[in-house]
A and B are shown apart, each in its own frame.
Chain A
Amino acid sequence: MSECMLCQVRRAEHPYLIESIGLNVYSVEELLYFMERNIPLLDGTILNEDLVRWLKDELHMRRLSVNLSMVLQRNFSVRDFVMPVFREVHYPDEKTIRRVDEELKKEEDKPSPVRMKECGDCLFGYGRYLRAIDTYRAAIEEAERNEESGDSLAGILWHNIGCAHARLFQMEELVSCMEKSFRLLKTGEARDAWLFAVLMRDGSDGLAKAALAAGIDGSVTREIEKKARELPRPEQPADPEQFLVDEVRAYHRNTGL
């Protein structure tokens, strides 16, 4: 149970745009709410001079902006930048602030490709599929550069890239990514995901050919087709035209196309 909390900082006339997910924030509490729930997204695209200037000019948080400017001038971690903001405002409560602090400490210890994968997952969750794909690919390159993590992380990343392509109806890329994921992970789940992608792109004949070429038993493909038939039919939208307009708008927003 929580009590009301006085807002001691004004709301901004002009919002701060969190570009990666297209979110405008108008108050420091909204900013902190976003930060608490999206730790993997906190990087240089958000924690920068623009944010510091917004805190100073729009919210009149001069002392905090001076402190953060000094943080930016040195080699800083996300925690170095974010925790002073939480402590300045005391939002939402002390327990949550301590939890965020702990999570940020753990985040610092994670390998860079893992952090990038989590960032990509956040972007995927917000429907920012192209950004998610770029982030996942960068994570793969980082992993290969550092020779860390091994095949399992790369396999998961290719799978996620494939899912992002699926949301964009990019079927060639979907099938290619799922195959790469299967080759790296070598699990039944990864195999089924690839075969499903093939079924969506090429139909039953294409599925059979791909399975034969890969030496996969016919019972597996029959099971894949059975699951596809049993998938629930999507509900018809109440206003199909408006639904189409909304989906097209979201597609353009997410892809920049």
Chain B
Amino acid sequence: MTKHRLIIGADLAGSRPEICYYDKTTKQLAALPMKIGNYHVTLTELFEKESGDDEAAGTVADLFREVFRTFGIGDIQREIVGMVVTFPDVDAKMLRMIRKAFELLEIPRSKTYVQDYCEDYYFYMTYQKQELWNRGTALFSFEDNRVRYYRFAPGAARNSLLVRVGSADTCALPQDPEKKDHVFAEYVRKCIGDEICSSVFITGDGFDEAWADESKRILCARGRRVFTEDSIFVKGACNAARERFDEKRLTGMKCLSDSIVPYNIGMEMVVGGKLSYYPLITGGSHWYNTVCDCEFLLGSDDELNFLVSGVETGGRHSVVMKLDGMPERPERTTRLHLHMEFTGKNVCTAEVTDLGFGELFPSGGKTWKEELGEIK
């Protein structure tokens, strides 16, 4: 039986999930609708039947097992090099569900990642020739009678190329072809107007050149090159998997999307005998994937001083968290556990627990929880 070495991207958009695989052995890339045998899967229908995260995770895990069997994968743990799952927008609930599904499939966390469509777009474009994106690109994604705009805009930062990827609100299109053309044309005008782009991509079902005369004129203005391409997001997810788990060809490039945390948070701490900046949160990851846990000994002050700096701007400012009611103990005899996570892109929560100092200074179990406010 042939042993595969597959890198996988999976788009779990409710109505039309897709899977894209890259075979390391044969160097083949293919994107397919997710099917079990000849049966098209519709996750929306499946999720409507489930009553909680665990059931949904079980359904997704079963689905993947069946799909892998269709591919001829016999040993999931050995034959899958890495896997990225994508949704149009990711939230914490979805993330929990997918992580549970990976656990059920026994795929280690180190071989998996979850991201949204903005990041898929980034990885899709950066794996194309640079001339197609070096002056920015635009993407219009159709799903039935709705279209959504995505923007890819490269810009320089201090030591890297920062690519800002964002999206606009979805636009509903009327059924009537003439009206549809006009509404879409207005949407394009609003989104890209007369901007110069290296390329414009159109993807998904719902676009047809037959009704898009006015829209085509706007799209092709300023000499813009327009391409139609299927399955951009799932291909981008697959490219992301190649990048994260294998090829790593995008050194010196960073993606800044709406869900990416655009700043670093750290503290001045003694590490290995020397006072230095210790990073707690490093910008560049999704807010829903960004978590920090560490333990340290409190110094002489009953407060913590977090240093926040922008990934793009580099400027630094402090955010202080007071630990009122901290028991009096000698310096560096209070062990604290710090847990930081984001509840939104700019909202970071810090939870500090007093662990005491063993039997020498027992813990009172006190905790402090604070939202660090709108971080800018």
Chain A residues within CB distance 8 Å of chain B: 1-8, 11, 15, 23-27, 29-30, 33-34, 90-94
- In the assembled complex, the CB of B198 is this many whole angstroms from the nearest CB of chain A, namely 45
Q: Cβ of B332 and Cβ of A29 under 8 Å apart?
A: yes
- In the assembled complex, the CB of B331 is this many whole angstroms from the nearest CB of chain A, namely 5
- For residue B335, which residues in chain A have a CB less than 8 angstroms away from its CB? 7, 11, 27, 29
9 cross-chain CB contacts under 8 A: A3-B268, A4-B299, A4-B304, A6-B270, A7-B296, A8-B271, A90-B273, A91-B297, A93-B270
- In the assembled complex, the CB of A87 is this many whole angstroms from the nearest CB of chain B, namely 9
- For residue A8, which residues in chain B have a CB less than 8 angstroms away from its CB? 271-272
- B360 beta carbon closer than 8 Å to chain A: yes
Near A by CB (< 8 A), chain B positions 57-85 give none
With A15-B358, A24-B359, A33-B357 as contacts: A1 and B273 at CB distance below 8 Å? no
- In the assembled complex, the CB of B296 is this many whole angstroms from the nearest CB of chain A, namely 5
The residue among B267, B300, B331, B358 with the most chain A CB atoms within 10 A of its own CB is B358
Q: Cβ of A3 and Cβ of B357 under 8 Å apart?
A: no
The prevalent SS among residues of A at the interface is loop
With A33-B333, A90-B273 as contacts: A3 and B358 at CB distance below 8 Å? no
- B168 beta carbon closer than 8 Å to chain A: no
Q: Cβ of A29 and Cβ of B297 under 8 Å apart?
A: yes
Q: Cβ of A30 and Cβ of B268 under 8 Å apart?
A: no
Q: Cβ of A23 and Cβ of B332 under 8 Å apart?
A: no
Q: How far is the CA of A30 from the CA of B272 in the complex (A)?
A: 17
Q: Contact check: which of B273, B294, B358 meets A25 at CB < 8 Å?
A: B358
- In the assembled complex, the CB of B58 is this many whole angstroms from the nearest CB of chain A, namely 33
Which residue of chain B is the closest to A23 with respect to CB atoms? B359
With A33-B333, A90-B270, A94-B273 as contacts: A4 and B359 at CB distance below 8 Å? no
Q: Cβ of A3 and Cβ of B275 under 8 Å apart?
A: yes
- For residue A34, which residues in chain B have a CB less than 8 angstroms away from its CB? 360
- For residue B272, which residues in chain A have a CB less than 8 angstroms away from its CB? 8, 90
Q: How far is the CA of A34 from the CA of B333 in the complex (A)?
A: 11
- For residue A25, which residues in chain B have a CB less than 8 angstroms away from its CB? 358-360
Q: Cβ of B298 and Cβ of A7 under 8 Å apart?
A: no
Q: How far is the CA of A8 from the CA of B267 in the complex (A)?
A: 15
Q: Cβ of B300 and Cβ of A1 under 8 Å apart?
A: yes
Q: How far is the CA of A241 from the CA of B285 in the complex (A)?
A: 60
- For residue B267, which residues in chain A have a CB less than 8 angstroms away from its CB? 4
- B295 beta carbon closer than 8 Å to chain A: yes
- In the assembled complex, the CB of B190 is this many whole angstroms from the nearest CB of chain A, namely 50
Q: Cβ of B271 and Cβ of A6 under 8 Å apart?
A: yes
- For residue A5, which residues in chain B have a CB less than 8 angstroms away from its CB? 269-271, 296-297, 299, 332
The residue among A11, A30, A34 with the most chain B CB atoms within 10 A of its own CB is A30
- For residue A26, which residues in chain B have a CB less than 8 angstroms away from its CB? 358-359
With A4-B297, A5-B270 as contacts: A30 and B358 at CB distance below 8 Å? yes
- B278 beta carbon closer than 8 Å to chain A: yes
Which residue of chain A is the closest to B274 with respect to CB atoms? A90
The residue among A6, A25, A30, A93 with the most chain B CB atoms within 10 A of its own CB is A6
With A27-B335, A29-B297, A29-B332 as contacts: A4 and B269 at CB distance below 8 Å? yes
- For residue A90, which residues in chain B have a CB less than 8 angstroms away from its CB? 270, 272-273
- In the assembled complex, the CB of A91 is this many whole angstroms from the nearest CB of chain B, namely 7
Near A by CB (< 8 A), chain B positions 318-376 give 331-333, 335-336, 355, 357-360
Q: Cβ of A2 and Cβ of B332 under 8 Å apart?
A: yes
- For residue A29, which residues in chain B have a CB less than 8 angstroms away from its CB? 297, 332, 335, 357
Sorted nearest first, the 3 A-B pairs with minimum C-beta distance are A90-B273, A2-B299, A5-B270
What 1/0 flags go to B242-281 for Cβ under 8 Å of A?
Answer: 0000000000000000000000000111111101001000
- In the assembled complex, the CB of A240 is this many whole angstroms from the nearest CB of chain B, namely 25
Q: Cβ of A92 and Cβ of B304 under 8 Å apart?
A: no
- In the assembled complex, the CB of A35 is this many whole angstroms from the nearest CB of chain B, namely 12
Q: How far is the CA of A7 from the CA of B356 in the complex (A)?
A: 13
- In the assembled complex, the CB of A60 is this many whole angstroms from the nearest CB of chain B, namely 15
- For residue B300, which residues in chain A have a CB less than 8 angstroms away from its CB? 1-2
Q: How far is the CA of A93 from the CA of B360 in the complex (A)?
A: 19
Which residue of chain B is the closest to A22 with respect to CB atoms? B359
- For residue B298, which residues in chain A have a CB less than 8 angstroms away from its CB? 4
Which residue of chain A is the closest to B331 with respect to CB atoms? A2
Q: Cβ of A24 and Cβ of B358 under 8 Å apart?
A: yes
Q: Cβ of B360 and Cβ of A6 under 8 Å apart?
A: no
Q: Cβ of A30 and Cβ of B271 under 8 Å apart?
A: no
- For residue A15, which residues in chain B have a CB less than 8 angstroms away from its CB? 358
The residue among A2, A4, A24, A94 with the most chain B CB atoms within 10 A of its own CB is A4
Which residue of chain A is the closest to B332 with respect to CB atoms? A92
- For residue B355, which residues in chain A have a CB less than 8 angstroms away from its CB? 11
Q: How far is the CA of A33 from the CA of B333 in the complex (A)?
A: 8
Q: How far is the CA of A80 from the CA of B299 in the complex (A)?
A: 29
Q: How far is the CA of A6 from the CA of B267 in the complex (A)?
A: 10
- For residue A4, which residues in chain B have a CB less than 8 angstroms away from its CB? 267-270, 296-299, 304, 336
